[in-house]
Structure 1
């Protein structure tokens, strides 16, 4: 179906200031949306209170309001600008909550303004815990046993039915704000009491514990003709109990059987249809009991999310851009794939590589803060790496943290039985150090079975850590660093510095040996189709593989170094600088080469730089 011709001006609601759980990814999605709307000839009005964003630059919208994102302010903007519609699905939870308030206060009806991207019914069904439980049941899925409460008295009564431990999840909050695990009545008072305060509807969901289950996400898109695609599957390294924003995540999901994946896919398609998201995207989270195979639908975000940005960069499928086109009335089969220029957006992306995201924390800034990872998000940024296998991508992503101690050590721990038992006991608690504790315990002689029992991390991932330890042992035994061993190390993501540390050599010496053996990285392409079609947008990652897929430069080129993962004191403002540098240099006739590992950013979008 063609684009709607009744939408001449659209108000886009931004996400406001950066907070934990809602960061640069919404500037990325918002910027994509504004560019699409302008290309389609729509007058664009933007409200956002964050001046460090790219989307608030004058050229991206016809009218930009740097104002608080409150219903009162937005109503004044509506009264002045008279937009035909509001697009609230690209500004995170802030924009969705503002849209709900505008509807409840009668502002949308009063001014005759339509919501596009997702209607109020879809937003409420996706965000309201009790309503969503009904959606899942009608879609043929299963939710965890749960009770909705609005007061502490109701919470204490529900605890008698559900038992401890239980999960506490407030409605209409972001980043898991106010959520947590209640192991006893004292925890319940503290967490549920805060959750009731944080929820704008004073509504909290108490549900049975599914701690230790495997956690997955599916990024979905649906158009008004009921075409549905799964853009990407994402798997959490950590089991349920750690917020997905604080867990190492992997795309595509690596430990699902085909039968399990198809089951998740079928449930997700039924859920998105039942909720009624028909002009955009959503993110649906699942848990699977590794003992029984029981599948639980955890929650749904009826909007572009942090995971959407990761999925976009992991696959090359621009979720925010396509969601915006869908909101204008296009269907998936009418939207061309910019990368292949042959396939439509209704073709699901295919990956021939592995993507790993590692969260960046800032506990060094707050020594008194509790580093335990729970269902409330604590990370302030993230880095993404791509590789031909999991171990390569994992080690590259960990090096991208730019923190001391962010890579594995392979020296012999030489632990006594008591020390090893203590290390295994430490790994039972999810912290920022757990992956290092697990790797060291395995290096010291712990078995995969012992570590699985302690951590509930899937045995396949534990086997990958064992593999890294075995490769390190082979490096240590080689002494002279022959070509076969060096190629093996590089295929599994070992840096020259790591290899040198294992062998007692300097990084420069290892690099010299590597160059003498002509072992150098090649650059592979993210193309959405596993090389089935030619890629026209050079979006690359390095790997120690065979064939280099980078085309030769046609003009003088300049490399721009990005700022890496967000952290306190270094955030979205540096991405702003990188994007503008690339734009100016391209206008001046140069090819620009952007190097960055932050999936939340505009600078890592495939069409900002030449490559």
Structure 2
């Protein structure tokens, strides 16, 4: 059993959960288990979880030495996240059977060029795009597709290297960053589609599929799934869309001959559904969806990997019945510990933890999630509540009703010049505040004094640390002031504040909701 190695952004306790539950399932079935994991912080690295533990790096050389010493009858790579799945081909070439999805089909899902062929064969829609290796090829494709485009390499952890490019300069910058590491697999340049992102974790036995639940992200596409607020059951999807997601998931699982776990991400836009990517492994949402649906996903996956069929395991096949409770997975960030890091959310994951809210409706679950992550507390400073707004001009119209709701709920509104003028012209009383590059007193001075309760700042793209937006976001972190960089998050946030702190939320015993 390969673990996930040292915890880092994009990979952590979620895969530890999967590894431990898979070991327990194997022990229950009478198997002797060996874990390879070099992280002292995780439960899977405790000496009493498996029969034997190798505290060794998850590299081809170290794993090969362990295999030569142990001569295992099989290897499990699905539960250690991207670190483990990248070793599938190496272990298979050593002659050790891979339990679950084969090395060939892992490549077909992870390699962007091969996955494109899978989508062609199954006739499942996806954003227009093609694979490239060089900056020149990327520029040609981006100009043919039309901006914005999504640039993403293969076999990456937590969306590393993924960016949305809005012009040629972005392409040149992002390709230069990606190619600082030698790329053994092609890079995909896709047309960026702005829609609702949805996600499924499923168990497959090679023929049938079981989907415990469909999750919907509050933030629209373009923000990494690990940084999005995830809601189950999906409140914004129609029954027809859910059926289509289940249908596409089964088609992809059968074509990729998945045995065990699979994670699939989709874009829903109007009545169309597009596939973003397929991960033939556990994902960071497996513990979340297991807890809120009552489906023991990891144990079912293990039993399928050992040859059992889903129809005989007691939970049926297809889309599982929806829970009467709603659940929200709320990301938690550690920007205050990461000096100089850009806090604006995008395709590359930045969260380091999560909070969980469960209630009888998704609005109350969302409120619990914000409360659990500490966001509501930081925004509700004593005394005068002041919201500072600095937005891209293209966001002004969309932001107007959101900022109006903040004003109606007792927030004094301050805004940078362009945003302030637009708000005042459209009926929202706002006071102008200077940018960091302008004369004092400005936003930085206000943050130093502790006079701002909340900041909403939608960033222009790029990595220039001298930009006003970057300086605002970093200063907010350093002065412990909540800063929202997505209008979707801001809309969800004010919905929770409108409920009021006096609301009595009932606790839910998660062990008794099924």
| TM beyond 0.5 | yes
Query: 1:87 aligns to what?
Result: 76
Distance across 2 between alignment mates of 1:34 and 1:316:
19
Which of 326, 343, 356 does residue 384 from structure 1 map onto?
Answer: 356
Asked if the contact 2:233/2:323 (under 8 Å) is kept, the reply is yes
Give the number of equivalent residue pairs.
444
Query: 2:290 aligns to what?
Result: 312
Query: 1:565 aligns to what?
Result: none
Query: 1:125 aligns to what?
Result: 108
Query: 1:64 aligns to what?
Result: 53
SS in structure 2 of the partner of residue 64 of structure 1: strand
Shift in Å at residue 294 of structure 1? 2.3
Which of 170, 191, 198 does residue 208 from structure 1 map onto?
Answer: 191
Distance across 2 between alignment mates of 1:50 and 1:354:
34
Shift in Å at residue 39 of structure 1? 1.6
SS in structure 1 of the partner of residue 64 of structure 2: helix
For structure 2, the 5+ residue unaligned runs are: 414-422, 427-455, 460-484
Query: Measured at CA, do residues 414 and 152 of structure 1 come closer, stay the same or move farther in structure 2, by a change above 3 Å?
Result: closer
Which of 303, 307, 310 does residue 329 from structure 1 map onto?
Answer: 307
Asked if the contact 2:367/2:496 (under 8 Å) is kept, the reply is no
Query: 1:481 aligns to what?
Result: none
Distance across 1 between alignment mates of 2:408 and 2:379:
16
SS in structure 1 of the partner of residue 123 of structure 2: coil
Shift in Å at residue 189 of structure 1? 1.8
Is residue 208 of structure 2 the alignment partner of residue 265 of structure 1? Answer: no
Query: Measured at CA, do residues 149 and 380 of structure 1 come closer, stay the same or move farther in structure 2, by a change above 3 Å?
Result: same
Query: 2:234 aligns to what?
Result: 253
SS in structure 2 of the partner of residue 80 of structure 1: helix
- Map 1:28-427; keep pairs closer than 5 Å: 28-103=17-92, 106-108=93-95, 113-198=96-181, 200-210=183-193, 212-224=194-206, 226-277=207-258, 279-290=259-270, 293-336=271-314, 348-366=320-338, 368-402=340-374, 405-406=377-378, 422=389, 425=392
SS in structure 2 of the partner of residue 329 of structure 1: coil
TM-score (norm 2): 0.78
Distance across 2 between alignment mates of 1:178 and 1:137:
25
Query: Measured at CA, do residues 184 and 344 of structure 1 come closer, stay the same or move farther in structure 2, by a change above 3 Å?
Result: closer
Query: Measured at CA, do residues 414 and 126 of structure 1 come closer, stay the same or move farther in structure 2, by a change above 3 Å?
Result: closer
Provide Cα deviations, 1:344-389, integer angstroms capped at 9, x if missing partner.
Answer: 6888242101101111111122353211111000111111110111
TM-score (norm 1): 0.66
For structure 1, the 5+ residue unaligned runs are: 1-11, 337-342, 476-485, 494-520, 527-537, 541-548, 550-611
Provide Cα deviations, 1:492-525, integer angstroms capped at 9, x if missing partner.
Answer: x4xxxxxxxxxxxxxxxxxxxxxxxxxxx4645x
Provide Cα deviations, 1:562-599, integer angstroms capped at 9, x if missing partner.
Answer: xxxxxxxxxxxxxxxxxxxxxxxxxxxxxxxxxxxxxx
Query: Measured at CA, do residues 436 and 324 of structure 1 come closer, stay the same or move farther in structure 2, by a change above 3 Å?
Result: farther
Shift in Å at residue 198 of structure 1? 4.5
Query: 1:584 aligns to what?
Result: none
Provide Cα deviations, 1:375-422, integer angstroms capped at 9, x if missing partner.
Answer: 00011111111011122111111121246844568999699xxx8xx5
Asked if the contact 2:328/2:358 (under 8 Å) is kept, the reply is yes
Shift in Å at residue 115 of structure 1? 0.6
Asked if the contact 1:182/1:188 (under 8 Å) is kept, the reply is yes
Shift in Å at residue 436 of structure 1? 9.3
Distance across 2 between alignment mates of 1:39 and 1:360:
35
Distance across 2 between alignment mates of 1:322 and 1:522:
29
SS in structure 2 of the partner of residue 238 of structure 1: strand
> Over aligned residue pairs, what C-alpha RMSD do you find?
3.4
Distance across 2 between alignment mates of 1:194 and 1:153:
14
Provide Cα deviations, 1:427-457, integer angstroms capped at 9, x if missing partner.
Answer: 949xxxx99979626747999xxx9x99996
Query: Measured at CA, do residues 164 and 89 of structure 1 come closer, stay the same or move farther in structure 2, by a change above 3 Å?
Result: same
Distance across 2 between alignment mates of 1:406 and 1:442:
19
Asked if the contact 2:107/2:114 (under 8 Å) is kept, the reply is yes
Distance across 2 between alignment mates of 1:217 and 1:363:
26
SS in structure 2 of the partner of residue 51 of structure 1: coil
SS in structure 2 of the partner of residue 134 of structure 1: helix
